[in-house]
Structure 1
Amino acid sequence: MSEPTAPRIAPPSKHQLALMIWICVFPTLTALNLALDGWLSTMSAVLRTFVLATIAVPIVIYGLMPHLHRLRARVLSRSARS
């Protein structure tokens, strides 16, 4: 006997993806701004933005988004079973 397969979850819509990205980016940038405030305050706005983006993007893409995608899939598969 074969095991039942999990329902296929569609990829997020562009609106869902935008919300997921915001959910990851806002707290990441907030935490980085608070943690690095003294060091960042001496930089120009462009350099400060470059530093924050260089640190935040890998955290969001490789650290947070995969967890959020898995959470979304669990929530959607749970609601599909109900």
Structure 2
Amino acid sequence: MDPAPRHDSAAPDASTEQVLPPAPPSIHVRAAITWLAIFPLVAIGMMAAAPLMESWHPIFRAMTLTLVVVPTAVYLVLPRLFAVYGFLAKRRSTRLKLATMRPLAEAKEVAHG
């Protein structure tokens, strides 16, 4: 059984605009953000683990380093970097929207004034 349609007494005003979320980052932006997360972790990990793993075979060094770096990047660093990117993208789209609305408002004032 379908629920009864909901009728809100306060219909949205014609001047109210729906704010759309910014588009997801392009594949190039995602690649750059991923590199920004991985490179410092690998560099720090290599320097920190070098004394311990100096005598290890390079394959085991790489395996051990990636066992630490990949989960750290995926679960800790990348979500924070993408959140920062989302914040900046939202702020940029809001600024662009305001910048395009300002000349329209000024034109209306000139036409009415």
Instruction: Give the TM-score, by structure 1 length.
Output: 0.88
1:72 aligns with 2:85: yes
Higher relative helix content: 1
Out of 41, 62, 78, the position equivalent to 1:49 is 62
RMSD between superposed Cα atoms in Å? 1.9
What percentage of residue pairs aligned between the two structures are identical? 22
Runs of 4+ in 1 over 6 A off after TM superposition: none
Whichever of the two has the greater Rg, that structure is 2
Report which structure shows greater RCO (CA 8 Å, sep ≥6).
Answer: 1
Query: Deviation at 1:9?
Result: 2.3
Q: How many residues were matched structurally?
A: 81
Aligned to 1:28: 41
Please, which runs of 5 or more residues in structure 1 have no aligned partner? none
Out of 7, 10, 13, the position equivalent to 2:26 is 13
Q: Quote the Cα distance in structure 2 between the aligned partners of 1:52 and 1:6.
A: 43
Query: Deviation at 1:7?
Result: 3.6
